[in-house]
């Protein structure tokens, strides 16, 4: 009996290893998934040549989708494309037509919601073939997985010209599907080299592309651009973008941000809003970056290395606020930590009222969390903060007002190292007692409230603590921590950085960002 049990255990382990390696192989094959469409073929642009060029430049799987040819013509063309793919060890799938896939021994089939069930297709094709299923909802995704689908195709990810009036899936639903299933997920529908970046961070392992490849005048060029996106879906190194000012002393601003990101083992990038001549005693001059140059910095980053999270610090003027908010919406930026920088520790004013007001309108609602210190929270909540109770009230007022979570930092002598997190956990529409009307409906938020306590380090050198904390939070969000744990880990980092007791400069000095034992 003992021996039998042991043999079963070993067999199960081997089966699990084989299944995992097959799944990893499929994840790689689904990375850049070309779906053919003959509407763009010409005399001198046959589908066979297009498929060859796409594969030579990085496409990792081909699906043959043909609605206009006869069955015989489809079979001939499918056999020709199958040979081209197999010569390059690229899997070749057939859209919808399970019997054609069986007849030419294709590597699998992709089934729409209205096609044959995956169970029947599996009986026809056998255990080793790839069966993909389209899913537009979590229910459809779970059902397809339970019926033996090897992967899911979810979409349309964007409005698409290939299939008019098709249902467009929200990227939040896409994220939810990826979190709920254990099989690989690709996005499909309307994807091109301009919008594909927005899919990074949703959890998909690849994207299925039609027109952006087969309608392209330069397939090689288009595939290379698409490849720069899909290689970021599964990358291990996380990237964080700081949009902030430069602090010549190196203790705050983008300098503190990039040092913090490095110490927290993420790849840091920066878009500079202002150059300040600054040291531990104050700011002697500020030169704003033009909105055009800020826009160009942001565009160059988002079109090449997609940031897994964003930290926003000092913003110079309201035009910059508009540029930043437009860019964050255009690229569906995720994990946005906004530090409402108003005054430096040295007392220097870093943001005008009109800029702050524009940021409240355009940026705060986009933020995952804002991290005001006590003076900033008094301005945002329009009330004094004298004790912990005041901190809790002010944080909730700010969260309700701007529709984002709030970390009210305890520095500046109310609580020093203990911060209060008022995290939005849901929304409910509440109507006032009078007659229901649009204007009387107000979104109320549900909150998770936590004190996140720290160990107060007895050290006056705390220049840049806010920049450092918000960058550390952004780094942790990029690595996949939830908001509360991102803050807990960030505070542990900042306490080590303060505790290293660097003593530089005449005024309140900077921290030792280079502490590595995290
Ligand atoms: N002496 C200290 N010991 C431990 N933690 C501290 C200390 N001072 C501040 N902190 C923590 O550092 C973080 C930043 O808080 P602080 O109020 O200093 O931000 P800030 O005023 O925005 O900083 P900055 O000067 O960069 O704008 C918070 O988590 C706070 O609890
Ligand atoms: C450039 C810059 N950004 C933010 C702060 C906040 O400390 C600072 N002192 N300088
Ligand atoms: Mg601050």
Name all domains of the chain by residue range, CATH numbers in brackets: 22-234 (3.20.20.70), 239-500 (3.40.1190.20)
> ipTM, 2 decimals?
0.95
What tokens appear for 39 in the block? 């509407």
In angstroms, rounded to a whole number, what is the distance separating the alpha carbons of residues 418 and 416?
Answer: 6
Residue 464 bears catalytic tag: yes
Kindly state if the Cβ of 462 falls inside 6 Å of ligand 1: yes
Residue 230 bears catalytic tag: no
The pTM score is 0.89
Residue 251 bears catalytic tag: no
Ligand nearest to the CA of 340: 3
For residue 326, give every residue at least 6 positions away whose Cβ sits within 8 Å of its Cβ, in sequence order, or none.
Answer: none
420, 451 contact by CB (below 8 A)? yes
pLDDT in single tens digits along all 518 residues of the chain: 788 888 888 888 888 877 777 788 999 999 999 999 988 887 888 999 999 999 999 999 999 999 899 999 999 999 999 999 999 999 999 999 999 999 999 999 999 999 899 999 999 999 999 999 999 999 999 999 999 999 999 989 998 766 667 788 999 999 999 999 999 999 999 999 999 999 998 999 999 999 999 999 999 999 999 999 999 998 899 999 999 999 999 999 999 999 999 999 999 999 999 999 999 999 999 999 999 999 999 999 999 999 999 999 999 999 999 999 999 999 999 999 999 988 766 667 777 889 999 999 999 999 999 999 999 999 999 999 999 999 999 999 999 999 999 999 987 665 579 999 999 988 776 555 544 444 445 677 899 999 999 999 888 899 999 999 999 999 999 999 999 999 999 999 999 999 999 999 999 999 999 986 55
Residue 462 bears catalytic tag: yes
State in Å: Cα 341 to ligand 3 middle: 5
- Strand, coil or helix: 376: helix
State in Å: Cα 447 to ligand 3 middle: 24
> Which residue in the list 85, 178, 404, 467 is annotated as catalytic?
467
Q: What are phi and psi of 58, to 5 degrees?
A: 130, 0
Q: Which residues contribute to the annotated binding site?
A: 63-67, 95-96, 115, 134, 160-163, 190
Ligand nearest to the CA of 468: 1
State in Å: Cα 515 to ligand 2 middle: 21
C-alpha of 478 from chain center: 8
Kindly state if the Cβ of 511 falls inside 6 Å of ligand 1: no
Q: Is the dihedral of CA 242, 454, 427, 382 positive or negative?
A: negative
């Amino acid at each position: 009996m003992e021996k039998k049990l042991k043999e079963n255990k070993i067999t199960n382990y081997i089966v699990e290893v084989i299944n995992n390696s097959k799944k990893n192989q499929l994840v790689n094959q689904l990375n850049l998934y070309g779906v053919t469409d003959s509407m763009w073929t010409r005399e001198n642009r046959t589908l066979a040549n297009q498929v060859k060029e796409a594969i030579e430049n990085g496409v990792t799987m081909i699906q043959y989708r043909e609605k206009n040819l006869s069955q015989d013509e489809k079979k001939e063309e499918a056999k020709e494309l199958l040979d081209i793919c197999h010569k390059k060890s690229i899997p070749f799938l057939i859209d919808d037509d399970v019997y054609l896939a069986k007849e030419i021994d294709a590597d699998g089939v992709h089934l729409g919601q209205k096609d044959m069930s995956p169970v029947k297709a599996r009986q026809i094709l056998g255990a080793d073939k790839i069966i993909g299923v389209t899913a537009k909802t979590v229910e459809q995704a779970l059902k397809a997985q339970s019926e033996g689908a090897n992967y899911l195709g979810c979409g349309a990810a964007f409005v698409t010209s290939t299939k008019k009036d098709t249902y467009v899936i929200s990227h939040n639903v896409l994220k939810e599907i990826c979190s709920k299933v254990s099989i690989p997920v690709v996005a499909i529908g309307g994807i091109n080299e301009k919008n594909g970046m927005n899919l990074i961070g949703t959890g998909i392992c690849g994207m299925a592309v039609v027109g952006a490849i087969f309608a392209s005048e330069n397939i090689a060029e288009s595939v290379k651009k698409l490849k720069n996106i899909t290689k970021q879906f599964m990358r291990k190194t996380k990237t964080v973008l700081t949009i902030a000012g430069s602090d010549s002393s190196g203790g705050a601003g983008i300098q503190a941000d990039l040092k913090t990101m490095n110490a927290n083992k993420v790849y840091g990038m920066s878009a500079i809003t202002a150059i300040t001549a600054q040291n531990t005693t104050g700011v002697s001059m500020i030169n704003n970056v033009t909105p055009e140059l800020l826009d160009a910095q942001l565009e160059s980053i988002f079109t090449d290395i997609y940031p897994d999270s964003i930290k926003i610090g000092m913003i110079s003027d309201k035009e910059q606020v508009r540029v930043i908010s437009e860019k964050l919406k255009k690229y569906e930026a995720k994990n946005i930590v906004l530090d409402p920088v108003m005054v430096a520790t040295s007392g220097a004013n870093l943001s005008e009222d009109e800029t702050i007001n524009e940021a409240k309108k355009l940026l705060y609602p986009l933020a995952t969390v804002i991290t005001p210190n006590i003076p900033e929270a008094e301005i945002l909540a329009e009330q004094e903060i004298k004790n912990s109770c005041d901190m809790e009230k002010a944080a909730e007022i700010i969260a309700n007002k701007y529709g984002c979570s709030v970390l009210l930092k305890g520095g500046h002598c109310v609580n020093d190292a203990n911060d209060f997190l008022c995290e939005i956990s849901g929304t409910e529409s509440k109507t006032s007692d009078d007659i229901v009307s649009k204007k009387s409906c107000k979104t109320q938020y549900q909150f998770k409230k936590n004190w996140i306590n720290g160990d107060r380090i007895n050290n006056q050198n705390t220049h840049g603590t806010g920049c450092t904390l918000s960058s550390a939070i952004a780094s942790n969000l990029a690595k996949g921590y939830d908001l509360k744990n991102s803050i807990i880990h960030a505070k542990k980092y900042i306490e080590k950085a303060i505790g290293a007791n660097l003593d530089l400069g005449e005024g309140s000095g900077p921290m030792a960002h280079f502490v590595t034992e995290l």
